[in-house]
Amino acid sequence: MINIYGLFSFFTYYLVKYWKLLLMLIVILCYILLIIIFSISYYIVKALKINFNNCFFGLDNYTKESINVLEKYGNYNIKNVYLVKQPFSQFKKLIFNILTYNKYDEWENKKTIFHTLIIVELKIKKNIVKKICIEKTNNLKILSNFQIYDNYTLKKIKIKKKIKLNELLNKTKDRIGNLKFFNFKLFECNCQHIVLEFLKTLCKNKKSKFIFQKLNKLENTQYGNYLLNGINNTANIVEHFFDISYINNF
């Protein structure tokens, strides 16, 4: 006779022990499934001669998680700002190779590609500060809980004027518009573009050699744009309607 309790205990033990690995495998499988689905639909759409270049689910507001952070910390003054470079994981490199027909590896041999973000340090009260991460993945995210790993590179920049977190965000949004501010497109409004726009608001710098990368050297293909838009659409819809954060740390 099968010991149901014993089997339940066995599976529960390994589920608790290896939940991170299991979650990562689920995310990878979901990515693979999405790539297959959107690859098939790409050739169907192309055969029907439908214009899909600007077809994506665009957001015009912050995610629920970002709204909660801004309600709590948005009116505090920014004390310090850090530019951050994060090397790509092997999984992200694989995705980029698929999107660019293996051009990513050729280009990375000449120059390392990295994800960029900005960390602002808010003055809460005397000798008390709070660090907030602002980054663009599938959409713009404002995070109060985040990690800084050993392979991150940080550069502190000077701020010459007092500015609140909400003021930084609103001034940047008003200048570039909701579409570019909230949404991600690989060659038009990616992670480095939004960081450069924040720098313009903070200290009028148009470029920073520390983070600037010319991604236009990567092959800009219809297939890659369609695939990436499809994945971003799915992630944005899940976050917007189900209040589930998009997993992008693999």
- Residue spans of the domains in the chain: they are 51-242
The dihedral of CA 174, 175, 180, 182: what is its sign?
negative
Q: What is the mean pLDDT of residues 154-159?
A: 88
pLDDT band at 154 (very low <50, low <70, confident <90, very high): very high
Report which of residues 244 and 247 the model is more confident about: 244
Residue 223: pLDDT over 90: no
Q: What is the mean pLDDT of residues 174-190?
A: 88
Average pLDDT, the chain: 79
Looking at the chain, the whole-number percentage of residues with pLDDT higher than 70 is 73
pLDDT band at 249 (very low <50, low <70, confident <90, very high): very low
Q: What is the pTM of this model?
A: 0.77
The Cα–Cα gap between 63 and 18 comes to 29
